[in-house]
Structure 1
Amino acid sequence: MAMAALRPALRGMCVHLRCQLLLHAHLDVPRAPLHLSPPASAGHNKWSKVKNIKGPKDAARSRLFMKFAMMIRLAVKDGGANPEFNQHLANVIEQCRAKNMPKASIEAAIKGTDKSNASVYSLYEARGPGGSSLLIEVLTDNSTRSHQAIKHILGKNGGSMCNGARHNFERKGVVLAAAEDHEKSMVPLERALELAIEAGAEDVRDTEDEERPLLQFVCDVSSVHSVRESLSALGVQTVSASLEYVPCTMAQLSDADLQLASRLIELLNDSQDVLRVYDNIEAQSEQD
């Protein structure tokens, strides 16, 4: 039992040592500290599998495209309708294309922004099942309606509005890339670490969406484009680059709470004004 309890710590020490060895091998290039924690990553992967279970594909695609249209409107409001001069918009359009959103729908969302000038962006803080933290991005033309709808969903599904959830997240640049190389083989951990260091990322972890496994490279918000360009130059197939809220403090949930959290986040995402939901959830470590 004592050895079983030590395994997660020993795995973390081994990976930390590999990170340090790789960092010393690249001392000629100044980089931000890099870290990857396998025990957390394992729990994160299990959570990714739970929350990425979707309903009918047509309904899921429809919801996804609706959220993309909201993201486009927000990007246009912030920086204009020309993606050549609005990098935020260019990033969103790229995400839309990666998910095969029709070109006509993208253009309609851009042109329709002027008609939705009354929309206001808000960020709600909430507590979820098992003491987890949630950040809920909203774009709405009726803040009262949105607040009431979100409060109702939280209250009926083991959550509540709360202050302080934001402290469990950091605003970061995130570059998603294929976790497979050109030969369809999974990129080994050591190689992922090397790529992160060479590209100037701070962190790398394995994750997945509903379609495939991915590598998530995390960096400073000011470095997201240079990191992406560096990864592409290194032969990595990047999927998207964006600014996101990345958890810095994780909440470990039991299987029962994972299911409750998955249902809560699904309902929040289905709410008409919700743009995106961030969480700090990972699966509880299994003990022998």
Structure 2
Amino acid sequence: MIYWSTFLFPLKGMSTGAVLRAFLSGCARKLTREVPWPGARRLPQFRALHACPPRCAGHNKWSKVKDIKIPKDAARARLIAKYTMLIRVAVKEGGSNPEFNITLAQLIEQCRSKNLPKSTIEAAIKGAEKSKAAAQCLYEARGPGGCWLLIEVLTDNNTRSHNEIKHILTKNGGVLCDGARHNFDRKGVVVADRDGISTERALELAIESGAEDVQETEDEEAKPILQFICDMSSMKVVRTALEALGVHTLSTGMEYISNSPTPLLQLQLEASAVLLEALNDYPDVVRVWDNIQALE
């Protein structure tokens, strides 16, 4: 603790409180220049002293919310919106009973694997009849470095979605064109937890279960997963075999798998990443498939 009287005792005739008030009111410099009576010593110049610790501005917490939580919540909201639309289309096409609607059953399973609330799934099924008619479209495109893209869209206004996707592609070095579909095969995919399974063991599991191939990737929450690729008619058989081998499967579905990868340089990879992010941020886009491969 600092005792101001230690510095102020030469000012006779002035109370310590008066001198202290002078210092606190911004008059310290004047007091140190003027000598109040003959023979008194001049006070030395002092700089302001802060004895208390500085207060934090609180920006660090906000930066974490802004840079991590808000984008994550936005991505989660987009995911829920897209699956809600897919469920409504599936109900309109095949009914609301998953036992007689394979597409709906697969969508419900995928929603559960992504931890979507049960109430959200039920609300999407019930609200299918009241929702606007929507159609699924598949756009073919070419991206930076000559990579091929398949863009699955679910929309109630095809003209609006077509124009918006064309704008996004043009702005980010891409273009709508034919020919992309030939670079992909329609396959069945069984998604499973990685659970510490090594690459060698994953290949063994693919062979033992009857899958054609296995890919190591991540889900929307950056959780490592395995994708066992097989013929569309063999999905149920492969999944049953994997579960018998002790693999925790999450979902099954049909996807487009690249049959001719396009190797890209680092700058092209970065440009492609920007394009893919912009496409996935558009609400009508369900998913984007690509044949991008990093050039070694």
Under a length normalisation based on structure 1, what TM-score does the superposition of the two structures give? Answer: 0.75
Shift in Å at residue 117 of structure 1? 5.2
Size of the aligned set, in residue pairs, is 228
Task: Report the counterpart of residue 271 of structure 1 in structure 2.
Answer: 282
Determine if the alignment matches structure 1 residue 153 to structure 2 residue 164: no
Gaps of 5+ in 2: 1-67
Query: 2:78·2:283 contact (CA, 8 Å) conserved in 1?
Result: no
Structure 1 stretch 107-116 or stretch 226-235: which is displaced more? 107-116
Alpha-carbon deviations, 1:103-133, whole Å to 9, x = none?
Answer: 1111111122223352111110000111111
Q: 1:54 to 1:171 in 2, by over 3 A?
A: farther
Task: Report the counterpart of residue 231 of structure 2 in structure 1.
Answer: 220
Shift in Å at residue 70 of structure 1? 2.0
Under a length normalisation based on structure 2, what TM-score does the superposition of the two structures give? Answer: 0.73
Alpha-carbon deviations, 1:186-211, whole Å to 9, x = none?
Answer: 21233212211121101112112233
Determine if the alignment matches structure 1 residue 242 to structure 2 residue 253: yes
Structure label with greater radius of gyration:
2
Query: 2:142·2:148 contact (CA, 8 Å) conserved in 1?
Result: yes
Determine if the alignment matches structure 1 residue 198 to structure 2 residue 208: yes
Distance of 1:113 and 1:239 partners within structure 2: 25
Task: Report the counterpart of residue 265 of structure 2 in structure 1.
Answer: 254
- Greater helix proportion: 1
Task: Report the counterpart of residue 97 of structure 2 in structure 1.
Answer: 82
| Percent of matched pairs sharing the same residue | 62
> CA RMSD of the aligned region, Å?
1.7
Q: Which amino acid aligns with 1:173?
A: G
Distance of 1:55 and 1:154 partners within structure 2: 25
Task: Report the counterpart of residue 62 of structure 1 in structure 2.
Answer: 77
Task: Report the counterpart of residue 98 of structure 1 in structure 2.
Answer: 113
Structure 1 stretch 191-200 or stretch 234-243: which is displaced more? 191-200
SS in 1 for 2:283: coil
Distance of 1:56 and 1:82 partners within structure 2: 35
Distance of 1:54 and 1:173 partners within structure 2: 33
- Match for residue 207 of structure 1 among 217, 221, 229: 217
Shift in Å at residue 54 of structure 1? 9.8
Query: 1:173·1:243 contact (CA, 8 Å) conserved in 2?
Result: yes
Distance of 1:200 and 1:267 partners within structure 2: 37
Q: Which amino acid aligns with 2:207?
A: I
Shift in Å at residue 55 of structure 1? 6.6
Gaps of 5+ in 1: 1-52, 181-185
Query: 1:54·1:60 contact (CA, 8 Å) conserved in 2?
Result: no
Distance of 2:132 and 2:80 partners within structure 1: 20
Alignment of structure 1 residues 45-56 onto 2, 5 Å: 56=71
Distance of 1:100 and 1:189 partners within structure 2: 26
Alpha-carbon deviations, 1:235-273, whole Å to 9, x = none?
Answer: 101121100111111011122222211121111112121
